[in-house]
Structure 1
Amino acid sequence: MEKENVRWVVMGGDVGDEKDCEEGVEERVEDFGKVDMLVKKAGEEDGEERIVNICMGDIMRGLF
């Protein structure tokens, strides 16, 4: 990527919070001057050590 002069950053935040998303993009524009591409890859961690301890409601919320 460096050979192609591509710069990238991984950022954390709550994609369910519009203000958090806006602030994240604004920070990247400050860092780089613009944003050419934004990939939304959301995940969730609930702290459970075993998947069998996660309730169905939490699983479904993560899917939709």
Structure 2
Amino acid sequence: MNTALEWFKSSYSGDEGGNCVEVAAHPTAVHVRDSKVTEGPVLTLTPAAWSAFTSDIAH
């Protein structure tokens, strides 16, 4: 990832730490990482795969 990404946590995530993920959206990919290990691995998904995932967990 050569370009700087803007990472976001859910508005449901508190400031106490815990098990959170951060997401950075890009027109061709959605990047997901552990908020506690920001220099660690990043999972990259297509926008369609991310949409299907978030749709499934919302139900």
- The structure that is strand-richer by fraction is 2
TM-score, normalising length from structure 1? 0.24
Flag the structure with larger Rg: 1
TM-score, normalising length from structure 2? 0.25
Structure scoring higher RCO (CA < 8 A, sep ≥ 6) equals 2
